[in-house]
Structure 1
Amino acid sequence: MRDAAPPPPPRALFVDARLICPASGLDEVGALLVDDGKIAAVGRDAQGQVDGAEIVSCRGQILAPGLIDVGAFVGEPGAEHRETIATASEAAAAGGVTTIVTRPDTTPSVDAPEIVDYLKRRARDTASVNVHPMAALTKGLAGKEMTEIGLLLEAGAVAFSDGPRTIASARVMRRAMTYARDFDALVCCHVEDADLTAGGAMNEGEFASRLGLPGRPKAAEALILERDIRLAALTGARYHASLITCAESVAIIAKAKADGLPVTCGASIAHLTLNENDVGEYRTFFKLSPPLRHEDDRLALVQALAEGVIDIVVSAHDPQDVETKRRPFAEAEDGAIGLETMLAAGLRLVHSGEVPLARLLAAMSTRPAALLGLPGGSLKVGAPADLVVIDPDAPWVLDAASLRSKSKNTPFDGARLSGRATRTVVAGRTVHAYGRPSG
């Protein structure tokens, strides 16, 4: 006997909201009507449509498209001790993220249609937000033999990547990009030469020397980025640099765009708001891959985000357990969690006047949706009712123990933040409201 179908999402009227839709340029005070999991009316057209609707007062707060996070590690299959789809989705909901695009570097890696199908079924059964898998570009993430791109797309993969690994062979990369072009598939790449960074623990430079730590040079990033962009020009494939971290990479991306190449890039919220000095006295929660860079590089990233050179902002969510982080800095695993803090940390850039609010929201919602061909990222009538209500000025202090992620390796522990998601809605259903658990 099959389980009964879930009841339809409630009809709801969100009132007293500052409506911000980067896709249309909307920024006005008004109402928004949700019916049958979709946006039914916006602004003046929604006013007064109270028949049978639950009234949700936003109390003057921002109502925007739900955030879309590209490239989060969720742990399943194979690393459930670090994170699960269920716990990752709880963290996402608490942070205003309504869609997660997952990394393929699981065990086994996401290199076959049946693994994509498994992830989709697990998400359907356990997730409170939308979950879309990114598939591996090469089998076993080994960088030698490309995967069946067409079959993986049919199974539901939304992009292709080898996760935190760079494909060393230009021949393999060219072949994979050629096939991806034929399917109009997005190729997402980690841009860092593994040979140049081998053994490195943090950004190469004076600060690393003072700490006595081996460095990872920025040239390793620029080298692979230049190569990949030349291959994108050669093949015509849609190419996305998953994370850029330095001024040199900003210049390379800007030139590629000026040349009309189908090239985009992302930056993590950590690289936009932190720098190498935050490592301090060997604080391993600040050990990331790529590493945090010099303050000049951080400022270059922020300017590139404001100008639209950087397309999307991501959490770079990479949970690690206590055993892998409570080690000497050079031996600790890279990575930090970020699903629950991406929005709040990003609002630091808005409050400082460095990035307009609409631009930040576009990089966290509208642009990722367009890049991956996903529904959402908009407040247009007919769009999925994936929404976030944001109090941009709410002061709070982050306590890592209160985070929903299974792992607690956040670089923002104890940070004073201003602004947070107060309600998250997925397909018309509230999955998180501040003051009560998500789900």
Structure 2
Amino acid sequence: MTDVTTGGDPGAAYLIRGVRVVGAEPTDLLLAGGVVAEAGHGLAARGARVVDGDGLVALPGLVDLHTHLREPGREDAETVESGSRAAALGGYTAVCAMANTSPVADTAGVVEQVWRLGREAGLVDVQPIGAVTVGLAGERLAELGAMAESAARVRIFSDDGHCVADPRLMRRALEYVKAFDGVIAQHAEEPRLTEGAQMHEGEVSTRLGLTGWPAVAEEAIIARDVLLAEHVGSRLHVCHLSTAGSVEVLRHAKKRGVRVTAEVTPHHLLLTDERAASYDPVFKVNPPLRTAADVTALRAALVEGIIDIVATDHAPHALEDKECEWAYARPGMLGLETALSVLLDVLGERWDLIAERMSRTPARIAGLAEHGRNPAPGVPANLTLVDPAARRTIDPGEQASRSRNTPYAGLTLPGRIVATFLRGEPTVLDGKAVR
């Protein structure tokens, strides 16, 4: 990198020399006017700031379909601004903010508030997700149409953290959003099978004496909902899929042509329920960490395309919500600043696959037309530059999130985000946030 350590210059052109676009042969990229103005060899642009791309890979800006930004209501854990900064440092140019805020994002007013806070921060595009039901209570539908018609243009709805357990209500939601090609994103958990659950139900939970969260609680809801989606002809998205059995339900549904997509988190691709043996609440998450066999099945399904995308389920928590006994700890883990490194660790340098699962497909699902496009002339300049040769040891104290509940503390992972550009403006340079 050269001459880019003092921060971005609004409106300036940037010339990235010798970067490998999605792992291809080195080329130059000129970013100007919010787009990739030119791509080729030996480019020159008077006055452009030069970025040395030697050894770097350019990816379309990452898109996260599942982020908890906590604002409004829990600004002690995260704000839209701090979460946006964490996302930019992780290579993201767009995130979808979940609805379990306080107040819940179940009205046009609240989703517009989150959307405006994202625009004010200006670090990533923040696309709010609206609640399916009022107050996430699972009793009556929220204002889906009003949120869809608001300035935020909500297209994804989820009660994440709570399952829409009533099948009649789930059917009504699927029918409602079909009118504007919306998506219902389901937290698949049959609550009557997980009451009091502390971790995955299996050999480890038996050994530790902790109440188990059975895999069938997830699989049963997914099976029900793909049937409902097929009946209605609407779009269903499965949040944080975590079991081998869920993969098979999804495989069968896709063979039948059901309009269903699914996500897997980085932590479910890397960590297993054995981590609970430490009783460290940082490893408490919902759905819980599963077995090594589940991890193997999830990785294979991601490569095959049965699982469509990687989503972080970035879930920041204040210290008092995690530094307590396991039983009382809130479930959830940080993910935005480490997701790409985990994927590189799991998949290796399969750049096209990574771009598909972490950018192109999530952008399509969310309807974010400016995102998820390989850097090329005329394309909005939303991209991230990665140094695949770098390795870094994760230090929670160095992360931008207001919270510290990362499950990767002390781990050494591959890859480093060198720069992130949002519509041609740098949000990260030399691995540091520009503002």
Question: Would you say the 8 A contact 1:350–1:357 is kept in 2?
Answer: no
3-state SS of 1:345 partner? helix
Q: Which runs of 5+ in 2 are unaligned?
A: 1-7
Question: Would you say the 8 A contact 1:93–1:438 is kept in 2?
Answer: no
The AA in structure 2 aligned to 1:135 is G
Q: Which runs of 4+ in 1 moved over 3 A?
A: 434-438
Aligned pair partner of 1:194 in 186, 191, 207 = 191
The AA in structure 2 aligned to 1:80 is E
The AA in structure 2 aligned to 1:307 is E
**Structure-1 residue corresponding to 2:5:** none
- Measure the CA separation in 2 of the matches of 1:436 and 1:340: 12
Q: Does 2:359 correspond to 1:365?
A: yes
Q: Does 2:62 correspond to 1:76?
A: no
Please give the per-residue CA displacement for 1:43-62, whole angstroms capped at 9, x wherever unaligned.
45xx4242342221112210
**Structure-2 residue corresponding to 1:140:** 135
**Structure-1 residue corresponding to 2:383:** 387
3-state SS of 1:244 partner? coil
Question: Would you say the 8 A contact 2:156–2:182 is kept in 1?
Answer: yes
Q: CA deviation at 1:435?
A: 4.9
Aligned pair partner of 2:107 in 112, 125, 138 = 112
3-state SS of 1:396 partner? strand
The AA in structure 1 aligned to 2:428 is H
**Structure-2 residue corresponding to 1:398:** 394
- Measure the CA separation in 1 of the matches of 2:429 and 2:162: 37
Report the identity percentage.
Answer: 36
Question: Would you say the 8 A contact 2:88–2:433 is kept in 1?
Answer: no
- Measure the CA separation in 1 of the matches of 2:214 and 2:9: 54
**Structure-2 residue corresponding to 1:23:** none
Q: Does 2:407 correspond to 1:411?
A: yes
- Measure the CA separation in 2 of the matches of 1:183 and 1:408: 39
> Any residues of structure 2 matched to 1:272-421 within 5 Å, and which?
272-351=269-348, 356-374=350-368, 375-378=370-373, 379-421=375-417
- Measure the CA separation in 1 of the matches of 2:199 and 2:400: 28
Q: CA deviation at 1:390?
A: 0.3
Closer/same/farther in 2, CA of residues 376 and 435 from structure 1, 3 Å limit:
closer
Closer/same/farther in 2, CA of residues 399 and 7 from structure 1, 3 Å limit:
closer
- Measure the CA separation in 2 of the matches of 1:282 and 1:7: 47
**Structure-2 residue corresponding to 1:90:** 85
Q: Does 2:39 correspond to 1:42?
A: yes
**Structure-1 residue corresponding to 2:230:** 233
Single out whichever of 426-435 and 184-193 deviates more from structure 2.
426-435
Question: Would you say the 8 A contact 2:17–2:52 is kept in 1?
Answer: yes
**Structure-2 residue corresponding to 1:181:** 178
**Structure-1 residue corresponding to 2:263:** 266
Please give the per-residue CA displacement for 1:206-228, whole angstroms capped at 9, x wherever unaligned.
11111111100000000100010
Q: CA deviation at 1:113?
A: 0.8
Question: Would you say the 8 A contact 1:400–1:413 is kept in 2?
Answer: yes
The AA in structure 1 aligned to 2:331 is D
Please give the per-residue CA displacement for 1:15-44, whole angstroms capped at 9, x wherever unaligned.
110111xxxxx8332111211111222345
In angstroms, what is the RMSD of aligned CA positions?
1.6
Question: Would you say the 8 A contact 1:8–1:36 is kept in 2?
Answer: no
Please give the per-residue CA displacement for 1:69-118, whole angstroms capped at 9, x wherever unaligned.
11211011101011001110111111111111100011111111111111
Please give the per-residue CA displacement for 1:349-404, whole angstroms capped at 9, x wherever unaligned.
133x8xx3321221111111111110211124332211110011201111111111
The AA in structure 2 aligned to 1:37 is G
**Structure-1 residue corresponding to 2:19:** 17
Single out whichever of 172-181 and 126-135 deviates more from structure 2.
126-135
Closer/same/farther in 2, CA of residues 261 and 380 from structure 1, 3 Å limit:
farther
Question: Would you say the 8 A contact 2:35–2:378 is kept in 1?
Answer: yes
Please give the per-residue CA displacement for 1:295-341, whole angstroms capped at 9, x wherever unaligned.
00000000001111111101110011111111221221100111111
The AA in structure 2 aligned to 1:107 is S
Question: Would you say the 8 A contact 2:381–2:424 is kept in 1?
Answer: yes
- Measure the CA separation in 1 of the matches of 2:351 and 2:377: 22
Single out whichever of 327-336 and 301-310 deviates more from structure 2.
327-336
The AA in structure 2 aligned to 1:365 is S
Q: Which runs of 5+ in 1 are unaligned?
A: 1-5, 21-25
The AA in structure 2 aligned to 1:343 is L
Q: Does 2:48 correspond to 1:53?
A: yes
Closer/same/farther in 2, CA of residues 328 and 7 from structure 1, 3 Å limit:
closer
Closer/same/farther in 2, CA of residues 43 and 256 from structure 1, 3 Å limit:
farther
The AA in structure 2 aligned to 1:264 is T
Question: Would you say the 8 A contact 1:69–1:99 is kept in 2?
Answer: yes
TM-score (norm 2): 0.94
Q: CA deviation at 1:7?
A: 8.2
The AA in structure 2 aligned to 1:406 is R
Question: Would you say the 8 A contact 2:89–2:431 is kept in 1?
Answer: no
The AA in structure 1 aligned to 2:107 is A
Q: CA deviation at 1:150?
A: 2.3
Q: CA deviation at 1:12?
A: 1.5
**Structure-1 residue corresponding to 2:60:** 65
Question: Would you say the 8 A contact 1:94–1:438 is kept in 2?
Answer: no
Question: Would you say the 8 A contact 1:90–1:438 is kept in 2?
Answer: no
- Measure the CA separation in 2 of the matches of 1:167 and 1:399: 37
**Structure-2 residue corresponding to 1:257:** 254
Closer/same/farther in 2, CA of residues 307 and 43 from structure 1, 3 Å limit:
farther
The AA in structure 1 aligned to 2:249 is I
TM-score (norm 1): 0.93
